[in-house]
Amino acid sequence: MKHYAGIDLSMETSHVCIVDAEGRKVAAEGVDSTPEANATLLERHGPWNAW
């Protein structure tokens, strides 16, 4: 199952929206604008966690 992420970046916070291949929202969260915070969010909501 494919997932797609859109990330709205700013200096302090980022907003991430993840949708599946059918366009259904999987997650929408705000995180700190650090590579680690964004990676953690993407890993937490990746398709491998959808079982």
Q: What is the per-residue pLDDT across 1-51, written as a single tens digit (0 to 9) for each? A: 788 999 999 999 999 999 999 999 999 999 999 999 999 999 888 766 654
Q: How many domains would you assign to the chain?
A: 1
Domain that holds residue 15: 1-32
Q: How far apart are CA 46 and CA 27, in angstroms?
A: 10
Beta strands, E only, 1-51: 3-9, 13-20, 25-32
The pLDDT score that the predictor gives to residue 1 is 75
Q: Residue 16 domain-assigned?
A: yes
Tell me, yes or no, whether 11 lies in a domain: yes
State how beta strands 25-32 and 13-20 pair.
antiparallel
Minimal CA–CA distance to 5: which of 37, 48, 46?
Answer: 46
7 domain-assigned: yes
pLDDT for residue 2: 86
Q: What is the rounded CA–CA span in Å between residue 43 and residue 38?
A: 9
